[in-house]
Amino acid sequence: MALLYVVESADFIFLQRQTGLTWGNLSSHLTKLEEAGYVDVEKEFVDKKPHTMLHLTDQGRAAFQEYRQSMKQVFEDLPE
């Protein structure tokens, strides 16, 4: 989610390389995010071959921002 938050869009291989997750693991995560409406799939053609790019939806961005805020709150509330 964090990676997709900082870029406009990325393909599956880029996400896999950056996260270090296995194909199956990442695929499973993305399917769940897609079902929740957080990730959108963009079909395009690169050199006449179909290619899939993934990007966060507005709903996904809002959810991630909310998550960041709540995590920040958690850390701030921790005792010294």
Give the residues lining the site for another protein (CB under 8 A): 2-3, 5-18, 23, 27, 30, 41, 43, 46, 50-53, 68, 71-72, 75
Asked whether the beta carbons of 4 and 55 are under 8 A apart, the reply is yes
Nearest-5° Cα angle at 29, 59 to 42:
55
Instruction: Kindly state the smallest distance separating residue 59's Cβ from another protein, in Å.
Output: 18
Residue 61: partners with Cβ closer than 8 Å, 6 or more residues away: 5
Residue 78 beta carbon to another protein: minimum distance, rounded to whole angstroms: 11
Distance CA 43, CA 58 (A): 18
Q: State the nearest-atom distance from the C-beta of 15 to another protein, in Å.
A: 7
Q: Which is nearer to another protein, 18 or 59 (CB)?
A: 18
